[in-house]
Amino acid sequence: MAELAPGESLLYVAQPDWRAERGKLIVFFLFAVFWSAISLLFFGMSLASLLGLAPIPSGGQPGTGMMVFFLVFSLPFVAIGFGMLAGPFLGIRKANNTAHAITDARLINVFGGADSGVESYKLETINFITRDDRRNGTGSLSIGYGVGRDSDGDPRPLTTDWSGIPDAKRAEALIRQHAKWVR
């Protein structure tokens, strides 16, 4: 691995499996379908009334300015709906282009594709780990590596999340074994 420093030993390498989070992705996608359907219906009705293609049943015709307002007002909702529809697929792509590694000195996240880059956290900065296991041995780790401040100035933990990694229990044990805060 090109990211390793001289003398650094690689202890664990994993690529996240997006299928571990498929339940959340399906729920998010179904909500996105609902949101998009409502916003497209609103947009379509606004456009049809503006073009005079759909009569308004109340008998009174709103002004052109009001119809244009409703049409323009619906555009951000349509854009948000399309973004939410794409979200699960972008998440799958990101998971397929990600690798996590544990060395005797650091945690490393490597991202490929359009979001290429590397994140590295020294094990001595790790201050907590939470693990969520699944029946098949995969799991997720939430790894705290410091404390930051939110917009109000209140402290909040800085975390990196490893979702859907194989043998999450082993990964947690390796981090605990080599992190300074455990000793």
DSSP letters along 35-93, please?
A: HHHHHHHHHHHHHHHHHT-S--TTSPPPPHHHHHHHHHHHHHHHHHHHHHHHHHHHHHH
pLDDT of residue 181: 59
pLDDT of residue 19: 79
Q: What token pair was written down for 43?
A: 């947009």
Q: Would you call 99 helix, strand, or coil by DSSP?
A: strand
End-to-end CA distance of the chain: 28
Q: What is the largest CA-CA distance in the chain?
A: 80
Q: Which of 178, 180, 176, 173 is nearest to 8 (CA)?
A: 178
- Give the full edge-to-edge strand order of the sheet including 106-111: 10-14, 98-103, 106-111, 117-122
pLDDT tens string, the chain, 183 residues long: the values are 577 778 888 889 998 888 777 888 899 999 999 999 999 999 998 888 888 776 666 656 667 777 888 889 999 999 999 999 999 998 888 888 899 999 988 899 888 888 788 988 888 888 889 898 888 878 889 999 888 888 888 998 888 899 888 988 999 989 888 876 554
10-14 vs 128-133, strand pairing mode: unpaired
Q: Which of 81, 50, 52 is nearest to 68 (CA)?
A: 50
pTM of the model: 0.73
Distance CA 25, CA 41 (A): 24
Identify the residue whose tokens are 């790894």.
Answer: 143
